[in-house]
């Protein structure tokens, strides 16, 4: 019923956006987030276990845990090849870290494209990590290492330990209280660059809350260029806006972007910068 209603509403994007905005802000963890900050969101993700339904609205599964399996089944989602292309722009690459990888749909695609390199994923949800380990083992892929970990706890990784560090639909859950610390740490552990598939405010604006974030639909969107420049003013930043062929969801088409930051740590800063 909820899926049918959503499908129907999505035919009128302005109306869908209005309803989504009202509905999203009524959820208990969003109300809690206003009081205790990102901790409320972290708890919501970390404790998801036998939740029914899936996060991609594309298929029904009979058993429990289907929300994790729906991520695995989204390996071929249309935005992932674009992300993999952006990662390939940093070639040669010998190591990659995804923060908030769930069971590893992106890492599966990356392992196909870059066999044999060191691929690591962390996620706050232990069930997603456990399922991911089983799924990669069943697929015979041994160079993907998954572990439970939080975006704001990257101290386990030494400086410059991965060529590319990326997030895909994860910083949308990080509030103003933690975002700067996380970006700073991502910059520290990345050697060549960062890629963020997140919701971006494109229009340049000096308002502080645009770099720290606003969350009109319950998901944080921010000016990532301004935010990244706070930590690496010399970074070369490219933005690819999410288009319909990448992601059918109107909200991702409205504000979604692939943000690519080349860090000035290596002599070879790469050739291609998108605008
Ligand atoms: C919308 S899913 C995206 C999963 C995956 N990146 C993808 O592209 O399919 C968000 C993921 O981020 C994880 N997550 C949320 N907050 C996190 C945090 N603070 N630290 C680490 N992972 C987090 C969730 O457990 C979930 O697996």
pLDDT at 269: 40
pLDDT at 47: 92
pLDDT at 204: 67
Q: Tell me the CA–centroid distance for residue 138 and ligand 1, in Å.
A: 22
Q: Tell me the CA–centroid distance for residue 170 and ligand 1, in Å.
A: 5
Q: Tell me the CA–centroid distance for residue 103 and ligand 1, in Å.
A: 9
pLDDT at 7: 77
Q: Which atom of ligand 1 is least distant from the CA of 55?
A: 1
pLDDT in tens, the chain (275 residues): 667 777 777 788 888 877 777 777 777 878 888 889 999 999 989 998 876 666 766 555 556 668 898 899 999 999 999 999 999 999 999 999 999 999 999 999 999 999 989 999 999 999 999 999 999 999 999 999 999 999 999 999 999 999 999 999 999 999 999 999 999 999 999 999 999 999 999 876 666 678 898 888 789 999 999 999 999 999 999 999 999 999 998 889 999 999 999 999 764 444 444 43
pLDDT at 268: 42
Nearest Cα residue to 118 out of 74, 69, 162: 162
- DSSP for 182-203, written as a single string: HHHHHHHHEEEEEEEEEEB--S
d(CA 265, CA 17): 41
The enclosing domain of 226 has a CATH number of 3.40.50.150
pLDDT at 60: 57
- Pocket mutation for ligand 1, best pick of 173, 179, 185 (most atoms within 8 Å of C-beta): 173
Q: Give, as one character, the DSSP assignment of residue 158.
A: P
Domain total in the chain? 1
d(CA 149, CA 31): 25
Closest residue (by CA) to atom 3 of ligand 1? Answer: 169
100 Cβ inside 6 Å of ligand 1? yes
54 Cβ inside 6 Å of ligand 1? no
Q: Tell me the CA–centroid distance for residue 164 and ligand 1, in Å.
A: 17
- Pocket mutation for ligand 1, best pick of 55, 170, 196, 220 (most atoms within 8 Å of C-beta): 170
102 Cβ inside 6 Å of ligand 1? yes
Q: Give, as one character, the DSSP assignment of residue 53.
A: S
Q: Which atom of ligand 1 is least distant from the CA of 38?
A: 19
| DSSP strand pairing (190-199 vs 162-168) | parallel
Dihedral sign (CA 34, 40, 45, 50): negative
Contacts of 79 (CB under 8 A, 6+ apart): 168, 197, 242, 246, 247, 252
- Expressed as residue numbers, the domain containing 103 is 1-275
Helices first, then strands: H and E counts in the chain: 12, 7
Closest residue (by CA) to atom 11 of ligand 1? Answer: 100
């Amino acid at each position: 019923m909820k899926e049918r209603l959503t499908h129907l509403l999505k035919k009128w994007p302005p109306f869908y956006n209005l309803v989504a905005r009202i509905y999203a802000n009524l959820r208990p963890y969003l109300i809690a987030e206003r009081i205790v900050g990102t901790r409320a969101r972290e708890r919501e993700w970390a404790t998801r276990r036998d939740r029914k339904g899936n996060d991609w609205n594309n298929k029904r599964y009979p058993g429990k845990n289907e929300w994790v399996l729906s991520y695995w089944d989204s390996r071929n989602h249309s935005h992932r090849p674009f992300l993999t292309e952006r990662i390939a722009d940093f070639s040669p690459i010998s190591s990659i870290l995804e923060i908030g990888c769930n069971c590893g749909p992106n890492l599966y695609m990356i392992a196909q494209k870059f066999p044999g390199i060191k691929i690591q994923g962390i996620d706050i949800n232990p069930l997603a990590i456990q399922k991911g380990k089983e799924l990669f083992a069943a697929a015979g892929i041994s160079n993907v290492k998954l572990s439970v970990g939080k975006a704001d706890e990257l101290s386990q990784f030494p400086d410059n330990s991965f060529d590319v560090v990326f997030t895909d639909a994860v910083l949308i859950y990080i509030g103003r209280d933690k975002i700067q610390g996380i970006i700073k740490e991502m910059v520290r552990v990345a050697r060549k660059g960062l890629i963020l598939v997140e919701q971006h405010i494109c229009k340049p604006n000096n308002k502080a809350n645009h770099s720290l974030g606003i969350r009109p639909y319950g998901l944080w969107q921010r000016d990532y260029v301004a935010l990244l420049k706070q930590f690496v003013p010399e970074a070369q930043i490219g933005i690819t806006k999410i288009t319909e062929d990448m992601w059918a969801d109107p909200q991702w088409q409205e504000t979604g972007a692939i943000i690519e930051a080349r860090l000035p740590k290596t002599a070879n800063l790469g050739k291609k910068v998108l605008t």
